[in-house]
């Protein structure tokens, strides 16, 4: 007799976050609420004993040892290859699933098939809103606001900081342009139809491109507030060249989704925003100058991925992803 498919396959990408990932998987398994879930963890060549700890703590899950740091997009695609669920849920390793969130998320997606990608609320440890579960799509206006620092001065403004989606607390069901990969639910068939994550990306920006590719296919994306996680932002990239990686992702997103001339203007606006911030660090004589470092490395991230992957990490330039 054929075994029924699970309701959902939860895909988690782990890199040097052993304890966080063990806790993340534990929170998923503790709060299934009747949902039949397959859990797949892709370990990106961690040296902290992650794979062994995960198998010991949660022997029923699938652990894929990639043997190297594949980045996010390639690791997600590897995990989904093993998926058997009706749905795929992308979940960050530094997340904790809250009670009832997973069954409510699955139920909402089934009851509202017009939404092909669904996200939820991300919260800080004190349960206040951490708004990174969704974003507005970049525009020339939003990048101009970034270049002039008006998006920083008027943070959460619908006019001057439009990518933040304003003061909305993610407390109502709403269609949004971009669902981030920290909590993203999609039917496995739709993931396959979209061709998976774009493997030209290494880290940051791939979920934005994925959402906008879904938009081009007419797939609506929405946030469902009762599905919530506690999320420690940047758990697997803290202390690294995060600023340069984020900028590399943004440049790659523009190259992938905008016409060439418009994308070139967008990249200039990104560089202008970094230059302004670096200049302010110099004027104020700050001891810690992250924007100055990002500005100095603009040649490394300014062409986007895959060049940035080689420049920032000293890795060979990967082969171009298949169409």
Q: Please name the residues in contact with 269: beta carbons below 8 A apart, sequence gap of 6 or more.
A: 140, 143, 144, 146, 147
CA–CA distance, 11 with 77 (Å, rounded to integer): 9
Q: Measured on CA atoms in the order 105, 108, 109, 110, is the torsion positive or negative?
A: positive
Q: How confident is the model at residue 32 (pLDDT cuts 50, 70, 90)?
A: very high
Q: Which two tokens stand for residue 117?
A: 């990608």
Q: Measured on CA atoms in the order 249, 182, 129, 226, is the torsion positive or negative?
A: positive
pTM of the model: 0.93
CB 96 within 8 A of CB 23: yes
CA–CA distance, 290 with 277 (Å, rounded to integer): 9
DSSP secondary structure letters along 62-79: EEEE-SS--HHHHHHHHH
So what's the pLDDT on residue 232?
Answer: 78
Percentage of the chain exceeding pLDDT 70? 94
CA–CA distance, 271 with 247 (Å, rounded to integer): 9
Q: Which two tokens stand for residue 97?
A: 């699933």
Strand partners, 121: 228
CA–CA distance, 300 with 148 (Å, rounded to integer): 23
CB 96 within 8 A of CB 84: no
Q: Which helix (H) or strand (E) holds 182?
A: none
**Size of the chain, expressed as the number of residues it contains:** 323
So what's the pLDDT on residue 235?
Answer: 46
Between the CA atoms of 198, 269, 235 and 287, what dihedral angle is there, to the nearest 10 degrees?
A: 150
| Average of per-residue pLDDT across 117-141 | 96
Answer yes or no: is pLDDT of 63 > 50. yes
Whether the upstream peptide bond of residue 306 has omega within 30° of 0, thus cis, is yes
| Average of per-residue pLDDT across 169-174 | 97
Model pLDDT for residues 147-163, shown as the tens digit of each residue: 999 999 999 999 999 99
CA–CA distance, 96 with 25 (Å, rounded to integer): 8
So what's the pLDDT on residue 287?
Answer: 85
Model pLDDT for residues 229-270, shown as the tens digit of each residue: 999 765 444 444 889 999 999 999 999 999 999 999 999 999
Q: How confident is the model at residue 323 (pLDDT cuts 50, 70, 90)?
A: very low
Q: How confident is the model at residue 319 (pLDDT cuts 50, 70, 90)?
A: low
Answer yes or no: is pLDDT of 322 > 80. no
Percentage of the chain exceeding pLDDT 90? 89
Mean residue pLDDT of the chain comes to 93
| Average of per-residue pLDDT across 120-134 | 95
Strand 115-123 and strand 183-187: the pairing is antiparallel
Q: DSSP secondary-structure letter at 50?
A: H
Half-sphere exposure of 226 (CA within 13 A, CB side): 11
Q: Which two tokens stand for residue 238?
A: 């803290």
Q: Domains in the chain, please, with CATH?
A: 8-133+170-231 (3.90.550.10), 242-313 (no CATH)
């Amino acid at each position: 007799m054929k075994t029924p498919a699970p309701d959902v396959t939860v895909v988690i990408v782990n890199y040097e976050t052993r304890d966080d990932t063990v806790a993340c998987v534990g929170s998923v398994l503790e709060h299934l609420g009747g949902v039949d879930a397959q859990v797949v963890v892709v370990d990106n060549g961690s040296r902290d004993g992650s794979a062994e700890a995960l198998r010991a703590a949660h022997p029923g899950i699938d652990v894929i040892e990639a043997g190297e740091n594949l980045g996010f997009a390639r690791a997600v695609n590897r995990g989904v290859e093993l998926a058997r669920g009706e749905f795929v849920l992308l979940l960050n390793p530094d997340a904790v699933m809250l009670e009832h969130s997973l069954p409510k998320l699955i139920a909402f997606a089934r009851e509202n098939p017009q939404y092909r990608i669904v996200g939820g609320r991300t919260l800080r440890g004190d349960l206040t809103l951490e708004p990174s579960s969704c974003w507005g799509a970049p525009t020339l206006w939003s990048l101009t606001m970034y270049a002039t620092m008006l998006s920083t001065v008027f943070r959460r403004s619908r006019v001057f900081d439009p990518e933040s989606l304003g003061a909305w607390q993610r407390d109502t069901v709403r269609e949004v342009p971009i669902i981030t990969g920290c909590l993203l639910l999609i039917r496995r068939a739709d993931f396959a139809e979209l061709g998976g994550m774009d493997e030209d990306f290494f880290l940051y920006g791939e979920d934005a491109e994925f959402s906008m590719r879904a938009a081009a296919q007419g797939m609506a994306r929405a946030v469902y507030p009762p599905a919530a996680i506690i999320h420690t932002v940047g758990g697997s990239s803290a202390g690294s060249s995060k600023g340069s990686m984020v900028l590399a992702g943004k440049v790659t997103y523009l190259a992938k989704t905008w016409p060439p001339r418009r994308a070139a203007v967008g990249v200039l606006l990104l560089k202008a925003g970094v230059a302004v911030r670096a200049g302010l660090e110099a004027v104020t004589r700050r001891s810690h100058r992250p924007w100055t470092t990002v500005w100095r490395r603009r040649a490394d991230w300014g062409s986007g991925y895959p060049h940035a992957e080689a420049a920032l990490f000293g890795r060979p330039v990967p082969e171009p992803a298949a169409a």
